[in-house]
């Protein structure tokens, strides 16, 4: 395992396929992952245990990503956030969120999964002395190397 036993990544996306894909790929890379399919579920997860990193979709029913992160900020601080979205119209909101310190990185859907893995590894490096690098794309079925664009659920 690449993380301390009590560390985990929190994935927040209302699309089950995205949660499953990110969970499968990041788990194969050695990360402990928990997925939430709404902002409300994410808040409950964070109240129970603080994640080492949050990967969150911006556009979700109920609380969107930014609303969720504003509530998260009132509970915890200092947790890095990667926001993902397939909607370019949300760009100004994302710029404001970065200025407010709510998010560290933004990735547009569809994106290259290898890029996301590299970003996660840069934020949460391997423990010192560990050589547990895994090539997930040697084990992942074809077609899982790109994040699907948002479409019908």
Structural domain count of the chain: 1
Q: What's residue 128's pLDDT?
A: 59
Q: Please report whether residue 132 resides in a domain.
A: no
Cα–Cα distance, 12 to 73 (Å, whole number): 15
Q: Please report whether residue 73 resides in a domain.
A: yes
Q: What's residue 3's pLDDT?
A: 52
pLDDT single digits (tens) 40-60: 999 999 999 999 999 999 989
pLDDT single digits (tens) 55-109: 999 989 999 999 999 999 999 988 999 999 887 666 778 888 888 888 989 998 8
Q: Please report whether residue 135 resides in a domain.
A: no
To 10 degrees, what angle do helices 91-99 and 65-75 make?
10
- % of the chain exceeding 70 in pLDDT: 76
Q: What's residue 88's pLDDT?
A: 64
Q: Please report whether residue 70 resides in a domain.
A: yes
CATH number of domain containing 73: 3.40.50.2300
Q: Can you say whether the dihedral through the CA atoms of 115, 120, 123, 125 is positive or negative?
A: negative
Cα–Cα distance, 20 to 4 (Å, whole number): 22
Q: Please report whether residue 13 resides in a domain.
A: yes
Q: Please report whether residue 25 resides in a domain.
A: yes
Q: Please report whether residue 51 resides in a domain.
A: yes
The structure's pTM equals 0.80
With contact defined as beta carbons under 8 Å apart, do 17 and 56 qualify? no
User: 118 is in which domain, residue-wise?
Assistant: 9-127
- % of the chain exceeding 90 in pLDDT: 54
Q: What's residue 57's pLDDT?
A: 93
Q: Please report whether residue 108 resides in a domain.
A: yes
Spatial neighbors of 144 by CB under 8 A, at least 6 apart, are 21, 24, 25, 113
């Amino acid at each position: 395992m690449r993380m301390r036993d009590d560390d985990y990544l929190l994935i927040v996306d209302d699309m089950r396929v995205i949660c499953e894909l990110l969970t499968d790929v990041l788990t194969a890379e050695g990360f402990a992952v928990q997925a939430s399919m709404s902002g409300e579920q994410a808040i409950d997860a964070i109240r129970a245990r603080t994640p080492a990193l949050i990967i969150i979709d911006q556009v979700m029913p109920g609380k969107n990503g930014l609303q969720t992160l504003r509530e998260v900020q009132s509970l915890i601080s200092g947790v890095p956030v990667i926001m993902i979205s397939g909607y370019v119209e949300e760009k100004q909101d994302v710029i404001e969120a970065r200025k407010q310190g709510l998010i560290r990185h933004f990735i547009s859907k569809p994106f290259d999964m290898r890029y996301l893995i590299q970003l996660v590894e840069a934020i949460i490096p391997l423990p010192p002395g560990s050589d547990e690098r895994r090539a997930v794309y040697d084990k992942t079925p074809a077609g899982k190397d790109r994040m699907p664009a948002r479409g019908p659920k």
